[in-house]
Amino acid sequence: MSDLERTHLVGIGGAGMSGIARILLDRGLEVSGSDAKESPGLLTLRAQGAKVAVGQAATNLDLFGDRGPTAVVVSTAIKPDNPELVAARARGLTVLHRSEALAALMAGHRVACVAGTHGKTSTTSMLTVALQHCRLDPSFAIGGDLNESGANAHHGHGGIFVAEADESDGSFLAFTPSVAVVTNVEADHLDHHGTVEAYTTVFESFVDKIEPGGLLVACADDAGSESLAARAEARGVRVRRYGRAATGNERDVTLLEHRPDGGTGGGVARILLDGAEIELRVAVPGEHMASNAIAALLAGLELGAPLPGLLDGIASFGGVRRRFEFKGRSGDVRVYDDYAHHPTEVAAQLRAVRPAAQGGRIIVVFQPHLYSRTKLFATEFGAALALADEVIVLDVYGAREQPEPGVTGTLVADAISLPGGQVHYEPSFEKVPPLVAGLVRPGDLVLTMGAGDVTMLGPELIAELDRRVQPA
């Protein structure tokens, strides 16, 4: 921790970096940082005491004055020629990857890490809220803001640290968890890993990081996770599985039934745990969320939390921002926003949303994320989005990637078949609100979906819908 006495974070406004900054500030350490543009997150960090600059320049390393930072933290998104990183190396300062800084903050705690291609943010969040409900006050670092607290990180005093473990760049190998959860393993982030085999192998390396005597919680319904569990078990790692009732591999927790709860918009799962049938209530919709809740339950039990408190805590979980987040309504048209950006996530969420639509149509505004992912999974995205009634496809949100010739949102739009509806490719943001307003009918549900700036459309959609119903 001595290296983190005065920490400068390059890209401090990002989800992972801002979480580290929050914890450092909570621990009474000094924090500075920079980001490319102003944001509400930067305002919050300044209010907590961080010194934050907008724009990136070598002089930002002097925000502490003459003392200078004791460490500079960067993420994989920071390029080698970033002026602050170049200056830090020239000065001989300690440079840490975000995961290394987070691992340093975990020291002295029992650590629970949640990994997986899908569901890790929701599962980490459920576990955190459940432990808080049990008054265990965990520290946590999550890739999204909890609806309960509005925060993505916190320094707790309970001796437990819960963290979302990011496999996208392999950085989760910096952690040594006592409890590791793997929700699923499915091809993704091949722009970094290169091959499906390399992506799978990094999860094996993650499991090898579990401390002696620790536990792997794995989903037996997912082929990748179950295969990982079997190999881990063969190497002597203790494993607890969860999943639907099935022949073959035994489940430590069996999901016997899941049914939507029309009163809350969530669901009720009937599970079998240690020979006893238990009702598990989840306030967010979808069987996939019930599965995430079971993973959180198993991890919480391993951390010593009582079963009744965990069940009550999971039932109270109000969701994570950008995970089927209600943005508002115009008349009887509801607008939601969701982070789903992989075909499996899109399909799972649309299946979960169908009961919540209450007989109305589902209109999806989808923004593909990354050129590499769009090119690789265009057909799969088409099949997933076909679960909606009307689909508007935006252009690709490139994020860290450069445009690739021929790879646009049309690849996804052309792959969607909607017998009863229409598919629209609309690369212009400003044209989307009037397009949606012209499509909706009373009782419809509108869902913006993707990992990019499509999240900004929700308020604009509601405003446009409101204008349509106001008298001239």
User: What's the pTM value of the predicted model, to 2 decimals?
Assistant: 0.74
Backbone angles phi, psi at 346, to 5 degrees: -60, -45
H or E segment to which residue 98 belongs: helix 98-106
On whether both 246 and 130 belong to a single domain, the answer is yes
On whether both 370 and 440 belong to a single domain, the answer is yes
On whether both 312 and 329 belong to a single domain, the answer is no
Using alpha carbons only, give the angle 239, 245, 246 rounded to the nearest 5 degrees.
Answer: 85
Flag whether 117 is in a domain: yes
Is 120 a residue of the active site?
yes
The domain spanning residue 74 has which CATH number? 3.40.50.720
- So what's the pLDDT on residue 262? 63
Question: How far is it, in rounded angstroms, from Cα 366 to Cα 385?
Answer: 9
C-beta of residue 183 within 8 angstroms of C-beta of residue 120: yes
Residue 284: which residues within 8 A CB-CB, separation 6 or more?
122, 265, 266, 267, 317, 319, 323, 324
- So what's the pLDDT on residue 260? 80
Q: Which residues of the chain, if any, have pLDDT below 50?
A: 147, 149, 471-472
Question: How far is it, in rounded angstroms, from Cα 342 to Cα 325?
Answer: 18
On whether both 354 and 398 belong to a single domain, the answer is yes
Among 84, 164, 226, 287, the active-site one is: 164
Flag whether 103 is in a domain: no
Question: How far is it, in rounded angstroms, from Cα 205 to Cα 227?
Answer: 14
Among 30, 120, 226, 390, the active-site one is: 120
The domain spanning residue 395 has which CATH number? 3.90.190.20
Number of domain units in the chain? 3
- Structural domain that includes position 284: 108-316
On whether both 343 and 283 belong to a single domain, the answer is no
Using alpha carbons only, give the angle 19, 24, 25 rounded to the nearest 5 degrees.
Answer: 100
On whether both 244 and 345 belong to a single domain, the answer is no
On whether both 131 and 239 belong to a single domain, the answer is yes
Is 164 a residue of the active site?
yes
Flag whether 181 is in a domain: yes
Is 327 a residue of the active site?
no
On whether both 84 and 131 belong to a single domain, the answer is no
On whether both 161 and 197 belong to a single domain, the answer is yes
- So what's the pLDDT on residue 472? 42
SS3 category, 446: strand
Nearest to 462 by CA among 371, 331, 372: 331
Flag whether 365 is in a domain: yes
Identify the burial level of 411 via C-beta atoms within 10 angstroms of its C-beta, where 0-12 means exposed, 13-18 middle and 19 or more buried.
Answer: buried
Flag whether 8 is in a domain: yes
Nearest to 385 by CA among 360, 349, 335, 438: 349
Residue 105: which residues within 8 A CB-CB, separation 6 or more?
1, 4, 20, 23, 24, 27, 139, 141, 161
Among 7, 117, 121, 344, the active-site one is: 121
